[in-house]
Structure 1
């Protein structure tokens, strides 16, 4: 394994960690950029096929990570406006409380938006739990796509 491949592996690992613990946004983007860098460095047709497969997997993961949890939230009666408030408060929380602020802000934002909408703490908490499950599912979907792209890259490294 060359130094470039080790560097690519490290960047991919950081990207996968960024998906699990959203400290750095764009975990899938990091994984894709690392595989792209390796493909450019390799320059072979196989390397470009590996990149194409990895890119399709990552793009599919990004699309599905929003579509499936969003549909589940819609089915549970949690409106998009609540998700938006949770996202905005989560982003603010990310800067106010390092590392865990994103999750705390998201939970607080969803709960407060639903409490305002429903005027019932129990029902608001139930909606918040639905939103948390959807967020967890979203992370798992993106992680699965990232791992599949990583496996594709490893297969390409072994094959070259």
Structure 2
């Protein structure tokens, strides 16, 4: 696979990660489509194994998200910049402490945005709890699964 194709697969996966944070965009399936594209071109045992594993992870993720309470975005007043802060925090956490760092990074991004917006620790902590109850858990589960798939792909490209 050429470098340009790898960059395009990576771009599709990054768009999928951003899509996880935007309601109504099929982010996890863009990540899966990138994995499918890569697997069909590389056609190695590792590529097929990652495709099957990512399919299982994303299907389990879908089932888990269905079991969570529905998102209540309008009730809490989630704004686009909040999603950007949460996504950036999750990505930085994922890079600093692979896989498990996404969770505290996501929550930390929400808290930092609310702290900046509201000005104090108490209101920011209360707002962070409200956001996590309303939408954060389902978004976090979906983002975590998508980051696992992207991380596995990146590891396979770099070390495989």
| TM bucket normalised to smaller | 0.5 to 0.7
* Two-structure CA RMSD over aligned residues (Å): 2.4
CA distance in 1, matches of 2:146, 2:3: 22
The reply on whether 1:41 has 2:34 as its aligned counterpart is no
Contact 1:54–1:150 (CA<8 Å) still a contact in 2?
no
Contact 1:16–1:28 (CA<8 Å) still a contact in 2?
yes
The reply on whether 1:11 has 2:12 as its aligned counterpart is yes
Runs of 4+ in 1 over 6 A off after TM superposition: 129-132
Pair 63,130 (structure 1): closer, same or farther in 2 beyond 3 Å: farther
Normalising by structure 1, we get a TM-score of 0.59
Normalising by structure 2, we get a TM-score of 0.59
Structure number with greater Rg is 1
Contiguous gaps of at least 5 residues in structure 2? 77-128
Contiguous gaps of at least 5 residues in structure 1? 71-82, 87-102, 109-128
Contact 1:62–1:142 (CA<8 Å) still a contact in 2?
yes
1:150 is matched with 150
Output aligned runs, 1:54-65, within 5 Å: 54-65=54-65
Contact 1:53–1:152 (CA<8 Å) still a contact in 2?
no
Output aligned runs, 1:8-157, within 5 Å: 8-22=9-23, 25-67=25-67, 69-70=68-69, 103-104=73-74, 107=75, 133-157=133-157
Count of aligned residue pairs for this structure pair = 107
1:2 is matched with 3
